[in-house]
Each structure stands twice: as C-alpha cells, then as structure tokens.
Amino acid sequence: MTGPEYGNAMTEIALALAMAFFALMILTMVPMGAGQGTATATSLQLAAAASDADGAADTPPATPIEPDQLIIFADGRFYNAALQEIDPAATAGRRGLILGLPPQLPLAAVMRAKTRLAAEDVTVVPLSDEWQSAVEALAR
C-alpha cells in the first residue's frame, strides 16, 4: 500500500474535507435564496412592513393603486374597492391584482383566498386600519 499508485493519506483527508465544506456551503446557500430564478406569475408575494430596532414600521414609498386592481377579502367574501361583493371567478385573466386581507388571518386561509381568485400575479397585502373599519361597518 505504499506504492506509487496510492495517494498520500493527508491528501485524501484534505480532499474529503474540501468536499464536505462545499456540500455545507451549498446546503447553506439554498435556503438563503442563492440560485433563485425570477418569480413566476403564480407565485405568492407577501408584502409586509418590516420593523426597525425602534419598532416603527418602515413603509416603502406609496405606489398608486387603481381601484379596479384592489380586491378585499373579509369574512369569506370578496369585495371590490367600492365594497361591493364580487365573484372571484370574474377575475379570470386579470393581472396585477392586489388582494387585501385582515392581518390576523391565518396563512392557510390566506392561501385558500388567493387560490380562489382566477387572476394571475396576485399580490397579497394586509388591510390598513381604515379598510378594516370600513369592512367591519359593512358587516353590521
């Protein structure tokens, strides 16, 4: 086993450690998003405000939303911007919709509401306090 056809034991150990390090690097990079492609039209995009160290919300610059883009989901029903009930199937073929949901809604309910819409490229956002008050007033 000491012939020229066998490698040095230290070389073999170094090669094994390099392969282990590479495997750990790949396993670490995948959850961080390395290698992610562009988002597909059917992907769920959650838009949430991030908190800084003081607990104040960092709000991105407001982008104007057309009233026909906004869909509100509350109490199992879908509403347009005028708070008139709409059929989720009527959104078929539409793109760039904004789905407003109560922030306390569980993730499973969010996913069910999103899949009930027949539209493509739906952005899910939490409802503001003003919208929540308007929806609650509608329920009364």
Q: Where are the domains of the chain?
A: 45-139
Residue 84 CB: number of other CB atoms within 10 A?
9
Whole-structure pTM over 0.85, yes or no?
no
Phi and psi at residue 35, in whole multiples of 5°?
Answer: 85, 5
Residues 6+ apart with CB under 8 A from 93: 118, 119, 120
70: β partners: 98
pLDDT at residue number 18: 94
- pLDDT in tens for each of the 140 residues of the chain? 555 656 688 888 999 999 999 999 888 887 776 444 444 433 333 344 334 444 555 556 666 777 788 888 888 888 888 888 888 888 888 888 888 888 888 888 888 888 888 887 888 888 888 888 888 887 77
